[in-house]
């Protein structure tokens, strides 16, 4: 991705210029969203128009602790305790044969 910085494009005085960006309307993006997401994940520069702004599709790395804190308000120590509790609960449910490991084939798992 070729990025540059220029002054005067945003209220803060700085904006990013992206060269070779494929810009889509929301309708175009929605029509084949999976394909656009895969292309963005592969490094293609893709943006979707939202009013007078272009919103870039960019892959983002998420670490478990950051996700848990943001989504569930769990600090690292709380996440560790929650994980232990869930592991115990899942083990109990497996022992009762209420839960089993996903085989990768939903139709087979649901049928059994």
SS3 assignment, position 21: coil
Please check whether residues 80 and 51 belong to one and the same domain: no
What one-character DSSP code corresponds to residue 87?
H
Q: Which domain holds residue 36?
A: 3-57
Q: Domain count for the chain, please give it.
A: 2
> Which of 27, 57, 87 is the endpoint of a domain?
57
pLDDT value of residue 19: 58
In SS3 terms, 37-51 reads as: HHHHHCCCCEEEEEC
Tokens 């005085």: give the residue: 13
Please check whether residues 16 and 45 belong to one and the same domain: yes
Please check whether residues 51 and 83 belong to one and the same domain: no
SS3 assignment, position 80: helix
Q: Give 31-40 pLDDT, tens digit per residue.
A: 999 999 999 9
pLDDT value of residue 107: 83
Q: Give 66-109 pLDDT, tens digit per residue.
A: 777 788 887 878 888 988 999 999 899 889 988 777 788 888 87
Phi, psi of 92 (to 5 degrees): -60, -45
Q: Are 4 and 19 in contact (CB under 8 A)?
A: yes
Please check whether residues 72 and 52 belong to one and the same domain: no
């Amino acid at each position: 991705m070729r990025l540059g910085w220029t002054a005067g494009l945003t209220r803060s005085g700085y904006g990013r210029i992206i060269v070779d960006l494929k810009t889509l309307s929301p309708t175009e993006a929605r029509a084949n969203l999976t394909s656009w997401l895969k292309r963005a994940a592969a490094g293609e520069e893709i943006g979707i128009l939202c009013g007078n702004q272009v919103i870039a599709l960019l892959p983002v790395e998420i670490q478990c602790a950051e996700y848990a804190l943001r989504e569930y308000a769990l600090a690292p120590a709380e996440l560790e305790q929650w994980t232990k509790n869930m592991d115990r609960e899942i083990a109990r449910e497996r022992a009762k044969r209420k839960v089993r490991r996903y085989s990768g084939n939903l139709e087979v798992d649901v049928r059994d």
